[in-house]
């Protein structure tokens, strides 16, 4: 069942904003709200797997506010800020060497892929609303 702006009682820009923000907060949620649950599940599972695998390989310390990788990692979800706070300020964790580098790359790629999914969800929401307006 497709959820559209009319069903949610949102204006067109509000619907696009909702799809984008939900897609950033929870990977795949933007596609879920526009009525694509299978695509949403695939996005959530694959991006979460990549993000968690990166943390597993390099430890939670790969999420660090002081590294340039953080700007790519935060694209995965705002929860990344909380993870960075835990690893840096609360537990004072650090990791070194090749595992850290690989973990940073995996988590950053998960974040950048989520950015692509957010853009796709907003575009698809726009196309769905335009199609419904023309009918």
Q: What is the pLDDT of residues 16-49, one digit of tens each?
A: 999 999 999 999 999 999 999 999 999 999 999 9
Q: Is residue 66 domain-resident?
A: yes
Residue of 123, 117, 128 whose CA lies nearest to 50: 117
Question: Is 21 within a domain?
Answer: no
Please give the tally of structural domains in the chain: 1
pLDDT computed for residue 102 by the predictor = 96
**Domain span including residue 102:** 28-134
Instruction: Centre a 10 Å sphere on the Cβ of residue 66 and count the other Cβ atoms it contains.
Output: 8
Residue 8 resides in a domain = no
How many other C-beta atoms can be found within 10 angstroms of the C-beta atom of residue 62? 30
**Domain annotation covers residue 101:** yes
pTM beyond 0.85: the answer is yes
List, for residues 48-89, the tens digit of each pLDDT value.
999 999 999 999 999 999 999 999 999 999 999 999 999 887
Would 14 be classed as within a structural domain?
A: no
Helices (H), the chain: 5-8, 12-25, 29-33, 37-58, 70-73, 79-85, 97-134
Mean pLDDT of 95-99: 86
Q: Rounded to the nearest 5°, which phi and psi values hold at 3?
A: -100, 125
pLDDT at 6 over 60: no
Predicted local confidence at residue 118, as pLDDT: 98
If one counts every other C-beta atom within 10 angstroms of the C-beta of residue 108, the result is 24
């Amino acid at each position: 069942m497709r959820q559209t702006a009319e069903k949610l009682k949102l204006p067109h820009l509000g619907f696009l904003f909702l799809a984008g923000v939900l897609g950033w907060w929870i990977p795949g949620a933007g596609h879920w709200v526009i009525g694509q649950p299978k695509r949403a599940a695939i996005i959530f599972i694959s991006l979460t797997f990549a993000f968690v695998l990166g943390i597993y390989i390099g430890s939670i310390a790969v999420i660090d506010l002081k590294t340039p990788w953080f700007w790519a990692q935060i694209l995965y979800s705002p929860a990344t800020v909380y993870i960075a706070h835990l690893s840096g300020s609360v537990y004072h964790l650090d990791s070194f060497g090749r595992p850290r580098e690989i973990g940073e790359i995996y988590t950053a790629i998960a974040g950048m892929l989520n950015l692509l999914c957010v853009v796709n969800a907003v575009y698809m929401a726009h196309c769905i609303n335009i199609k419904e307006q023309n009918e």
